[in-house]
Chains A and B, each alone.
Chain A
Amino acid sequence: MTIELRNISKHFGALKANDSISLAIPPGCIQGILGENGAGKSTLMKIFSGFLRPDSGEIVFDGKPLTIHSPDDAIRLGIGMLHQDPLDFPPFRVIDDFILGSPGGLVPDRRKALADFNSLSARFGFSLSPEARVASLTVGERQQLEILRLLWLGAKVLILDEPTTGISQTQKEKLFATLKALADQGMTVFFVSHKLEDVEALCSRAAVLRQGVLVGSMEKPFDMAALVRMMFGKEVELAAKSSMAPGKKVLTVKTGSVGSIRLRIKDVNLQVRAGEVIGIAGMEGSGQDLFLRACGGLVEPAGGQFCLDESETPMNGKTYHEYMRQGVAYLPAARLEKGLVPGLSLAEHFTLSVKPKGVFIDKKAAAALSEERIAAFNIKGWPDSPVESLSGGNQQRALLSLLPEKAALILVEHPTRGLDIESTIYIWGKLKERCAAGTAILFMSSDLDEILRYSDKVLVFFAGRVTPLIASESLNVQKLGELIGGVGWDAFQGNSNA
């Protein structure tokens, strides 16, 4: 099946998200869609999969124009989309989630669905239990479930939106193998990403969008430098790691333990010093998120001692707000869900972030503060822009700009998840500025390159176990990947770097 997108245009208000994009894709091909955040990739794919309607243009299959008004239309025509956050139902059992979107009568044929599920699952070597709760799956497994579901519904075209954010290296390899197998069977796969290395490893063709316009396309083998130029319109260089001598202690964890009976992380010993960057690696769900939150008082530690500064008095049982008063700040990964307040403007966020002076808001001071922060953090937006109207990269910048000026320790979940290279560099540039001023950073990430590139020391979580701090110079992607997967742990005789 040959797919053609002809002159697709879509605008939101005055913003042209897609400007007359035309693309033809032969069958059995993995088409990469590259571009930085806000380039229009997601819009194009949402139009293709029926979530949005184009202002003009058409979608043509084998010479026949299609009308797609809804995701339901799309899947009936064989187009299935796997969203960045899988659209599934966490409280459901896997098999119920699998059946849910299927057409058919009042009473679904569970037995047949189960048989189909098992045979499809076996075909790709997935090990999903049909009776497990969706909530208990990892992001990678939820993607597998969605892929199976879409295939079962008869998808012949599969669209994946940034599927490699939030999954481990091994899960990524498995995903890529699956996609390649599907393409070999004649399916067309659209792979939307801003990660060049993923596109290089997987795709047979790549198209690059920039500011809503298709700026170029390329077939394998790719000229990476040329792709970068197309994405950004210029060369981009990564910032080098700046090491400085670590200062006084800002966080000390002694035989710390977090989690419940289901997942208990025990005996974590950790010392974070001013100016240090410590990266936490581990497969999703290995407890690193719990640990990070415990370091900020957002979850109650199960045991051990969590001390701030040089103090010997543990902070256990104190709330996040008490941690905040001691100079701890927390940056969540879910920007719009946990970090920002949709519906409030940038200016209102800045006002909220500083200590209120008096009862009433000083409008003039607030405006001045917004101008200053927006300029300092290079946020593309106005003081009165609602935060939800900003792109992901700008939301992350806004989040950074809300941090208190004097922070002793910043805890960050996935600092650059879903961001393009340029934003990533910017965000880390800002974080490094903080370090130079003596702030320590403790962050978790599923991006191994990010961990190796920016951390001074690394902590690896695996199945309730934690390594001592490892100097990042002594690690590489391969070695770190193995540790995350549980290989090479014999070298550590327990965690003993107190």
Chain B
Amino acid sequence: MPFRETAMRDDKKTRIIFGLGSVLAALALTTAIVAATGNNPLQAYGNIIQGAIGSPNVAANVLVSWVPLALATAGLLFTFTGGLWNIGIEGQITLGAIFCTWAMRSLQDTALSPGIIIAFAIAAGMLGGIFWALLAGALKTFGGVNEIFGGLGLNFVATALNLWLIFGPWKRPGVASMSGTLPFEPELWMPTVSAQSRLALIPLALAVLALVIAFILLRGSHFGLRLKAVGKNPKAAYLLGIPTWQHMLLSFALCGAFAGLAGAVQVSAVYHRLIPSISSGYGYTGLMVAMLVNFSPVFAGPVALFFAALSVGSIQLPIVLKLDSSLAGVIQGFLVLFVLIGNGLRLKLLGRKRGSI
């Protein structure tokens, strides 16, 4: 037992070694795949980097796509801490976008100032996300429906609802279009840093704030600790006097609020209208980011930024090289897989339960 300190340090060292090994393995496999298609991997990577930070414009685009990803990840940290797989986050983003659009449509012809309309619309988006998340949570806690299945089902419902609105009640005058509803008047667009840029500062600040809130609540608050206990062992948490299902629902609501905010940002700051694929898979990518950082609020932001850079950077790939832009997804997927495998291997090599017999 006096050697405990060394045992801990060893553990940290192996952690870093395994982490690096996993990243290298993911890169190696991606490189092999690119090479197998007859392309030069270095050129492909160079292109991705160019596409992500080559000009202020593309770097701004990375931030634009970081915002919803960071928001989704911040929300998912709560549900993961509560031991919940909130697959339904995609639907929650979509509902956020729908509620936001609805608020904008209802208020745009009133005398309210644009700033207030946008604020209302953002709040409505968050409510929409909360509503959809609480549905999944209620199905889980009162209906006994696993949140994965409930969430998946609600995602389909959200998509269908979205399409129906775009092609039905909210269709463009004349003919409905896959390009979405009629854009809002430019004064209802969230202000961007410059006329050409798509980057708006308010959403950026909101995303940073979301990560900070997640960090503070999960690392230092009684709520975070209780949620962690509920996530790891609901039975014991209940016997310790913690209201378990209430904490689960609360984590769903928090995640839904952030997801709804992401959807609202996409509508009010990026697309200025409701489009069919408004969630753009940010929810699923958020799940990957959360898993990759092992649900730590500290690393969620930077890793989300890296994932956003990969996605934005690879947009150029099909034009410059004969590679599909899904290469970014391949790298992201491999990263998550290899890090999870590396974690499993490390725990196995350490004898899983160190020091317990």
Give A contacts to B, CB under 8 Å: 12-15, 17, 38, 40, 42-43, 320-321, 324, 330, 332, 337-344, 348-349, 351-353, 356, 358-361, 363, 382, 388-391, 402
A341 / chain B contacts, CB cutoff of 8 Å: 228-229, 232-233, 236-237, 240
B357 touches A42 (CB 8 A): yes
Q: Decide yes or no: A340 and B220 within 8 Å by CB, A14-B3, A14-B7, A352-B225 being known contacts.
A: no
B233 / chain A contacts, CB cutoff of 8 Å: 337-338, 340-342
Contact for A13 among B232, B237, B354, CB less than 8 A:
B354
The 9 closest A-B pairs by CB, nearest first: A14-B3, A356-B222, A341-B233, A13-B7, A17-B357, A13-B355, A338-B235, A343-B232, A341-B229
A344 / chain B contacts, CB cutoff of 8 Å: 225, 228-229, 232
Q: Mark B174-216, 1 if CB is under 8 A from A, else 0.
A: 0000000000000000000000000000000000000000001
A14 touches B4 (CB 8 A): yes
Q: Decide yes or no: A320 and B238 within 8 Å by CB, A341-B233, A348-B225, A361-B220 being known contacts.
A: yes
Q: Decide yes or no: A352 and B239 within 8 Å by CB, A12-B357, A15-B355, A388-B356 being known contacts.
A: no
B353 touches A388 (CB 8 A): yes
Would you call B272 an interface residue if the criterion is a C-beta within 8 Å of the partner chain's C-beta atoms? no
Q: Mark B28-62, 1 if CB is under 8 A from A, else 0.
A: 00000000000000000000000000000000000
Give B contacts to A, CB under 8 Å: 1-4, 6-7, 216, 220-223, 225-226, 228-229, 232-233, 235-243, 351, 353-357
Pairs across A and B, CB under 8 Å, 9 listed: A12-B356, A13-B3, A14-B1, A15-B357, A321-B238, A341-B240, A349-B240, A353-B241, A361-B220
Contact for A320 among B7, B220, B239, B357, CB less than 8 A:
B239
A389 / chain B contacts, CB cutoff of 8 Å: 353-356
B228 touches A338 (CB 8 A): no
B1 / chain A contacts, CB cutoff of 8 Å: 14-15
Measured CB to CB, the nearest residue on chain A to B351 is A12
A324 / chain B contacts, CB cutoff of 8 Å: 241
For the complex, give the distance between the alpha carbons of A13 and B9 in Å.
12
B220 touches A360 (CB 8 A): yes
B235 / chain A contacts, CB cutoff of 8 Å: 332, 337-338
Measured CB to CB, the nearest residue on chain B to A339 is B236
Measured CB to CB, the nearest residue on chain A to B5 is A14
A321 / chain B contacts, CB cutoff of 8 Å: 238, 241, 243
Known: A338-B236, A340-B236, A388-B356. 18 other contacts (CB 8 A): A12-B355, A12-B356, A12-B357, A14-B355, A330-B239, A339-B236, A341-B232, A341-B237, A342-B232, A343-B232, A344-B225, A349-B240, A352-B229, A358-B222, A359-B223, A360-B221, A360-B222, A389-B354
B216 / chain A contacts, CB cutoff of 8 Å: 360
B7 / chain A contacts, CB cutoff of 8 Å: 13-14
For the complex, give the distance between the alpha carbons of A42 and B1 in Å.
20
What is the minimal beta-carbon distance from A398 to any residue of chain B, in angstroms?
Answer: 11
What is the minimal beta-carbon distance from B65 to any residue of chain A, in angstroms?
Answer: 33
B222 / chain A contacts, CB cutoff of 8 Å: 351, 356, 358-361
What is the minimal beta-carbon distance from A403 to any residue of chain B, in angstroms?
Answer: 10
Which of A320, A344, A388 neighbours the largest number of chain B CB atoms within 10 Å of its CB? A344
What is the minimal beta-carbon distance from B207 to any residue of chain A, in angstroms?
Answer: 23
B4 / chain A contacts, CB cutoff of 8 Å: 13-14, 382
For the complex, give the distance between the alpha carbons of A493 and B239 in Å.
37
B354 / chain A contacts, CB cutoff of 8 Å: 12-13, 389
For the complex, give the distance between the alpha carbons of A389 and B357 in Å.
8
A363 / chain B contacts, CB cutoff of 8 Å: 220
B357 touches A43 (CB 8 A): yes
Contact for A361 among B6, B225, B351, B357, CB less than 8 A:
B225
For the complex, give the distance between the alpha carbons of A342 and B1 in Å.
21
Which of B216, B220, B226, B356 neighbours the largest number of chain A CB atoms within 10 Å of its CB? B356
What is the minimal beta-carbon distance from B238 to any residue of chain A, in angstroms?
Answer: 7
Measured CB to CB, the nearest residue on chain B to A10 is B357
What is the minimal beta-carbon distance from B83 to any residue of chain A, in angstroms?
Answer: 10
For the complex, give the distance between the alpha carbons of A363 and B232 in Å.
21
What is the minimal beta-carbon distance from B76 to any residue of chain A, in angstroms?
Answer: 19
A40 / chain B contacts, CB cutoff of 8 Å: 357
Q: Decide yes or no: A391 and B239 within 8 Å by CB, A341-B233, A360-B222 being known contacts.
A: no
A38 / chain B contacts, CB cutoff of 8 Å: 357
A330 / chain B contacts, CB cutoff of 8 Å: 239
Measured CB to CB, the nearest residue on chain B to A52 is B351
For the complex, give the distance between the alpha carbons of A320 and B238 in Å.
8
For the complex, give the distance between the alpha carbons of A402 and B232 in Å.
17
B229 / chain A contacts, CB cutoff of 8 Å: 341, 344, 348, 352
B226 touches A352 (CB 8 A): yes
Which of B3, B216, B239, B241 neighbours the largest number of chain A CB atoms within 10 Å of its CB? B239
Measured CB to CB, the nearest residue on chain B to A42 is B357
Contact for A338 among B6, B225, B239, CB less than 8 A:
B239
For the complex, give the distance between the alpha carbons of A43 and B357 in Å.
6
Which of B2, B233, B351 neighbours the largest number of chain A CB atoms within 10 Å of its CB? B233
A359 touches B221 (CB 8 A): yes
For the complex, give the distance between the alpha carbons of A351 and B236 in Å.
14
B221 / chain A contacts, CB cutoff of 8 Å: 359-361
What is the minimal beta-carbon distance from B229 to any residue of chain A, in angstroms?
Answer: 5
For the complex, give the distance between the alpha carbons of A338 and B357 in Å.
20
B225 touches A14 (CB 8 A): no
Measured CB to CB, the nearest residue on chain A to B350 is A13
For the complex, give the distance between the alpha carbons of A96 and B103 in Å.
60
For the complex, give the distance between the alpha carbons of A332 and B216 in Å.
33
What is the minimal beta-carbon distance from B170 to any residue of chain A, in angstroms?
Answer: 41
Q: Decide yes or no: A391 and B228 within 8 Å by CB, A339-B239, A341-B236 being known contacts.
A: no
What is the minimal beta-carbon distance from B142 to any residue of chain A, in angstroms?
Answer: 15
For the complex, give the distance between the alpha carbons of A40 and B236 in Å.
28
Q: Decide yes or no: A402 and B243 within 8 Å by CB, A14-B1, A351-B222 being known contacts.
A: no
B240 touches A402 (CB 8 A): yes
B239 touches A332 (CB 8 A): yes
For the complex, give the distance between the alpha carbons of A356 and B354 in Å.
31
Contact for A352 among B2, B220, B242, CB less than 8 A:
B242
For the complex, give the distance between the alpha carbons of A17 and B354 in Å.
11
For the complex, give the distance between the alpha carbons of A445 and B354 in Å.
31
Which of A13, A38, A338 neighbours the largest number of chain B CB atoms within 10 Å of its CB? A13
A352 / chain B contacts, CB cutoff of 8 Å: 225-226, 229, 237, 240, 242
For the complex, give the distance between the alpha carbons of A12 and B354 in Å.
6
Measured CB to CB, the nearest residue on chain A to B240 is A352
For the complex, give the distance between the alpha carbons of A343 and B222 in Å.
17
A388 / chain B contacts, CB cutoff of 8 Å: 353, 356
What is the minimal beta-carbon distance from A406 to any residue of chain B, in angstroms?
Answer: 14
What is the minimal beta-carbon distance from A49 to any residue of chain B, in angstroms?
Answer: 15
What is the minimal beta-carbon distance from A314 to any residue of chain B, in angstroms?
Answer: 22
